[in-house]
Amino acid sequence: MSQSRSTEETEAIEALAADIGDRVYLDIARWHLYLKDARLHTQVAQQAYDLVRKGPPIEAEALDILRQIAVEVGGGRRQIPLLDLIPLQGQVAFLDVLEAFQRRL
């Protein structure tokens, strides 16, 4: 992520974060925790924005973003890749959000 973003980029990232936060969820013991509620949507959007700016996102690259974000559990005693906590439906929703966002750029 670049050090300084323009107001336009910041607003775009906020819009992307809102879409991700509303559509993508963690599945923990069959409980759905949306990324906005887990406060992970902005971090994901910041990284995903740089990917979608380059062109249509490639699935492997998009999912790698989720793989690289570590989620602390158990009071920080353990870290789990975000991708491992998102079910297949959530991964598809993430890719759909990125594709729709990229078309609007």
Query: How many domains does one find in the chain?
Result: 1
C-alpha span between 87 and 93 (Å, rounded): 10
pTM: 0.91
Residue 27 lies in a domain: yes
> Dihedral of CA 27/32/38/39: which sign?
positive
Mean pLDDT of 63-78: 97
Instruction: Read off the pLDDT of residues 10-31 as tens digits, 9 standing for 90 and up.
Output: 999 999 999 999 999 999 999 9
Do 35 and 45 contact (CB within 8 A), yes or no? no
Q: Are β-strands 78-81 and 70-73 bridged in parallel, bridged antiparallel, or unpaired? A: antiparallel
Structural domain range at position 54: 7-104
Mean pLDDT of 59-84: 97
DSSP element (H, E) containing 25: strand 25-28
Residue 2 lies in a domain: no
pLDDT at 104: 92
Residue 1 lies in a domain: no
pLDDT at 4: 74
Residue 62 lies in a domain: yes
C-alpha span between 105 and 98 (Å, rounded): 11
Residue 15 lies in a domain: yes
